Amino acid sequence: MKKQLIIHTGFLVFILLLGLSAQGQNERKFVRHGNEIFEQALQDTSKIDTTAFSQAETAYRKALDKRPDDLKWNFNLGDALYKQMKFEEATAKFEEIAEKSEDKIEKARAFHNLGNSMMMQNKLDESIDAYKKALRNNPEDLESKYNLVYAMNLKKQQEQQQQQQDQNKDQNKDQDKNQDQNKDQQQNKDQQDQNKDQNKDQNKDQQNQDQKKQNQDQKKQDQQQQPQQQKISKENAERLLQALQNDEEKIQEKVKKAQAAKAQQRQTDKDW
């Protein structure tokens, strides 16, 4: 069964029992009218008749125009505001009653409904604090005990949900971080590959330049050596010519000696 907040409405019956002989019959008339509308609206549990509670509010305010310090009438006005879901206005009204009331039971009721108003605004810490104050003034208030447990359980659920959301958020952050790291790694790899290709191209260009320079140097060296080779060839040619000339002179001398010897031989032969 779904839990629901319990709101105190105990002053309504008290107001109805007031005698008509007291002073301020017009004010009490407004209060009685407001109570009648309030009770009729409470009878229909299938819906919240905000129009009826608004009419009750109007009646209570007319009475309070004459007696603004009446705590019981202010309490009923706070209930009417709460039923219309005017939780901020109801909060202010119940805080005022709790502060001004000297009766512990009345103070406990005000703190109880203050806790309800706070809870409907999702102010759980303030709601829990109000229920505790209600129980300090009336430790036997079972309704405040019930609502206190309800508020504490609701706070625990919200804390667990928030913790789960924080964990999911951290996981998403870790996933995003990993994705960023992978992206950075891929970018670094791409950059390395690009640098590698650039270095490869640079090395190839350098090799081409070195080869070109080497060819140029070899060509230059060949050009420098060519005149020297031509000069060496001329000197060799002169030496060869000189050698040939020397050889020719030696050969001619030998020829002359041979001819002289032959002539002498012939002369000898004639003498015989």
pLDDT, tens digit, 9 for 90 and up, residues 24-65:
577 888 888 878 888 877 777 666 778 888 888 898 899 889
Does residue 213 belong to any structural domain of this protein? Answer: no
Q: Is residue 66 a contact partner of residue 9, using CB atoms and an 8 Å limit? A: no
Q: 98, 127, 159: which is the final residue of a domain?
A: 159
pLDDT, tens digit, 9 for 90 and up, residues 110-140:
999 999 999 999 999 999 999 999 999 999 9
pLDDT, tens digit, 9 for 90 and up, residues 179-213:
877 787 888 777 877 777 777 776 667 777 777 77
Does residue 120 belong to any structural domain of this protein? Answer: yes
Return the percentage of the chain with pLDDT > 90, whole number: 36
Does residue 257 share a domain with residue 149?
no
pLDDT, tens digit, 9 for 90 and up, residues 67-106:
999 999 999 999 999 999 999 999 999 999 999 999 999 9
Number of domains in the chain: 2
Does residue 141 share a domain with residue 17?
yes
Does residue 27 share a domain with residue 146?
yes
Does residue 261 share a domain with residue 155?
no
Q: 128, 144, 159: which is the final residue of a domain?
A: 159
Alpha-carbon gap, residue 14 to 111, rounded angstroms: 19
Alpha-carbon gap, residue 170 to 167, rounded angstroms: 5
Say yes or no to pLDDT of 268 above 80.
Answer: no
Q: 108, 139, 159: which is the final residue of a domain?
A: 159
pTM over 0.75: no
Does residue 250 share a domain with residue 155?
no
Q: Is residue 76 a contact partner of residue 13, using CB atoms and an 8 Å limit? A: no
Which residues fall within 8 angstroms of residue 198, CB to CB, at 6 or more apart?
none
Position 1 confidence tier, pLDDT thresholds 50, 70, 90: very low
Position 251 confidence tier, pLDDT thresholds 50, 70, 90: low
Does residue 253 belong to any structural domain of this protein? Answer: yes
Domain span at residue 254? Answer: 240-272
Which residues fall within 8 angstroms of residue 117, CB to CB, at 6 or more apart?
82, 87, 88, 90, 91, 94
User: The domain that contains 116 carries what CATH number?
Assistant: 1.25.40.10
Does residue 164 belong to any structural domain of this protein? Answer: no
